[in-house]
Structure 1
Amino acid sequence: MSRLAQAPPRRPAPAAGGPAPGGGGRRKAARSEQWAAWGFLLPVGVYLLGFYAYPLYRNLELSLRDYTVRSFVRGDAPFVGMANHLEIFDDPAFGPALGHTVVFTVVSLAFQFTIGLALALFFAGNFRLSATLRALFLVPWLLPLIVSSSTWAWMLNSDSGVVNAALGVLGLGPVNWLTSPDWSLWSVTIANIWIGVPFNLVVLYSGLQAIDPAVHEAAALDGATGLQRFWHVTLPLLRPVSAITLLLGLVYTLKVFDIIWIMTRGGPSGSSTTFATWSYRLGFGNLVPSFGPGAAVGNLLIVVALVFGLLYIRLQRRRDLA
């Protein structure tokens, strides 16, 4: 028998463009990975819809209808369009509340970031007990806000506060921190700065730890002083962390309510009223609640936070493309 006759028959080659061996298995694996991805995304999607999308929709719907207590329960409030928004713009309290919100937010962010950065640079030296001191600085951030606000209200009390007692020892007169229109806004701002400094410290300290020490060593070898290294090396490399720190601080400060409400309730005479406290007072603080205008003020806070968030995303994309 010849060698050709003894050879086993060859399998026909697959047609051009046909499925490769094992293609069905790869498709099944890819499909299972897609189902796994959707399985992980589903809880997050349900959470975002239930706790973010629906409240935003509900707040928008409240601001577009004329709700009373009866119509709020029955759900038959008439549609009024932008009338609630126009009402808050015409309200005499809008201008002062806007000014207080801007001052409270800008001053809080400026001092929180500056003090947090200074402390982060201080702790970057990793000296003895630095970890313990950093942990102690986190206490204001970890305390419940009602505890921190009540403590500051007691410290700044006009009659029995420890701050006025210290001023008396120095020979200075007592200050009506919480009951004077000239001081109430600054009092709640000081308390908010104290609460927000630890957050800035933690985030900025993490950003400093991510900077390669070799960069500072190279700048020092080139003759750069400490201030020059900070200004031309540290700050530019810390810019992404600084941007997200300021953005998160802005969003948090815009919606600060409990600190102001516990310490001054927005008074006296509205001297410490911000958009957050004004929205609450309109919706729940009056004998005749104004749910629609209160929700409209809340929409202003949402729009401001959204604008700055989109601005941050745009700047970040431009930086990534540069």
Structure 2
Amino acid sequence: MPAPAGKGSPRTLSTRLVQIAFIVPAVVYLLLFFGYPVVKNVVMGFQEYTTKTFFTGEAPWVGLENYRNVVGDAIFSRSVWNTVLFTAGSILGQFVLGLAIALFFHKRFALSGVLRSLILLPWLIPMIAGTAVWRWILDADNGALNRILSAVPGLDLSPNWLTSTSLALVAVIGVNIWLGIPFNMTILYGGLQEIPEELYEAGALDGATGWRAFRHITWPLLRPVVTVVLVLGVVYTLKVLDVILGLTNGGPANSTQTIATFSYDTSFRQFDFGAGAALGNILIVISLVFAVVYLRLNRKAVDE
């Protein structure tokens, strides 16, 4: 019987080389397409980086000036508040509706697979196409939603969903909720499938049915999945750009301007790439802080 291969044996060495050969391409890819852009963006935030830089190659170091300029801008405080409202409203709506739909489909019935597939459509439709359809639906004069409202007896409503400073953000949040429900439903439904049915049967013997079963069985076992959904949802929602640009372009009167759209506007309309990068870095820090704080609080709650 041959002796087992030691740490320095040719077999172990060849295995390590094969493992490294598989890992290196992934590491190189991450460094090139994720690491380099992040580092470059951080550096640009401290430079005077404009269209002139593309011709001269010069980007003078300005320290914290870009950050002082963007934070001192009146639009910044408005964009921060809009970001908070947009993120909180979107996550709350997406999570609650996604969880409700996941619980509904957890009980199998005829055509449940077909209906689950249809719910994924908002997730599969290209974003630009989805926002174009919603612009038509929410149009004040010829939109489908206002036509339905005007057809209801006793209602004489024709809200300016996308041009009213008080309604535009609500409309954008509603569309983003519609887009995010499939993601929440899919992940939460997968988590529900992992909960053993025997636990519900045992709980039913002790009278834990309905809400009590959800509170004492479903929710505790679903919490790790909920953590993933919320963290990913918040990080993704903070950087949502296309939905807002496609519907309101940040208007009217900056009522739907978020940090992400403010960064885009500063970089690609004002061509102040240094200030735009500074706004992007602020968004990265906010995302990291939220993720770390939430994960630590969730870990404490689990340990207790």
Where on the TM-score scale, by shorter chain, does this alignment land: which range? over 0.9
Q: Could you tell me which of 245, 248, 251 is aligned with 2:232?
A: 248
Check conservation: 2:227, 2:295, Cα contact below 8 A: no
SS across alignment from 2:157: coil
Q: 1:29 to 1:70 in 2, by over 3 A?
A: same
Provide the residue aligned with 2:100 in structure 1: 118
Provide the residue aligned with 1:61 in structure 2: 43
CA distance in 1: counterparts of 2:220 and 2:303, whole angstroms: 17
Provide the residue aligned with 1:215 in structure 2: 199
In the alignment, structure 1 residue 274 sits paired with structure 2 residue 274: no
CA distance in 1: counterparts of 2:300 and 2:14, whole angstroms: 36
Aligned residue type for 2:211? L
CA distance in 1: counterparts of 2:265 and 2:275, whole angstroms: 10
Distance apart, 1:113 and its partner CA: 0.4
Distance apart, 1:79 and its partner CA: 0.3
SS across alignment from 1:238: helix
Q: 1:21 to 1:58 in 2, by over 3 A?
A: same
CA distance in 2: counterparts of 1:21 and 1:131, whole angstroms: 53
Distance apart, 1:223 and its partner CA: 1.3
Provide the residue aligned with 2:118 in structure 1: 136
Distance apart, 1:232 and its partner CA: 1.5
Counting matched residue pairs gives 301
SS across alignment from 1:172: coil
Q: Could you tell me which of 184, 190, 207 is aligned with 1:200?
A: 184
Aligned residue type for 2:58? D
CA distance in 2: counterparts of 1:197 and 1:209, whole angstroms: 18
SS across alignment from 1:93: helix
Q: 1:23 to 1:196 in 2, by over 3 A?
A: closer
Q: TM-score, normalised by structure 2?
A: 0.94
Q: TM-score, normalised by structure 1?
A: 0.89
In the alignment, structure 1 residue 191 sits paired with structure 2 residue 137: no
Q: Could you tell me which of 225, 228, 244 is aligned with 2:209?
A: 225
SS across alignment from 1:126: coil
The 5-angstrom pairing of residues 149-168 of structure 1 reads 149-168=131-150
CA distance in 2: counterparts of 1:169 and 1:21, whole angstroms: 84
Provide the residue aligned with 2:221 in structure 1: 237
CA distance in 2: counterparts of 1:121 and 1:306, whole angstroms: 30
Q: Which has the larger radius of gyration?
A: 1
Check conservation: 2:102, 2:189, Cα contact below 8 A: yes
CA distance in 2: counterparts of 1:21 and 1:132, whole angstroms: 56
Distance apart, 1:312 and its partner CA: 5.0
CA distance in 2: counterparts of 1:205 and 1:230, whole angstroms: 14
Sequence identity percentage: 44
CA distance in 2: counterparts of 1:68 and 1:277, whole angstroms: 18
Q: 1:314 to 1:73 in 2, by over 3 A?
A: farther
Distance apart, 1:27 and its partner CA: 1.6
CA distance in 2: counterparts of 1:23 and 1:66, whole angstroms: 58
Tell me which stretches of 4 or more aligned residues in structure 1 moved more than 3 Å: 20-26, 311-322
SS across alignment from 1:293: helix
In the alignment, structure 1 residue 178 sits paired with structure 2 residue 176: no
Q: Could you tell me which of 61, 70, 73 is aligned with 1:88?
A: 70
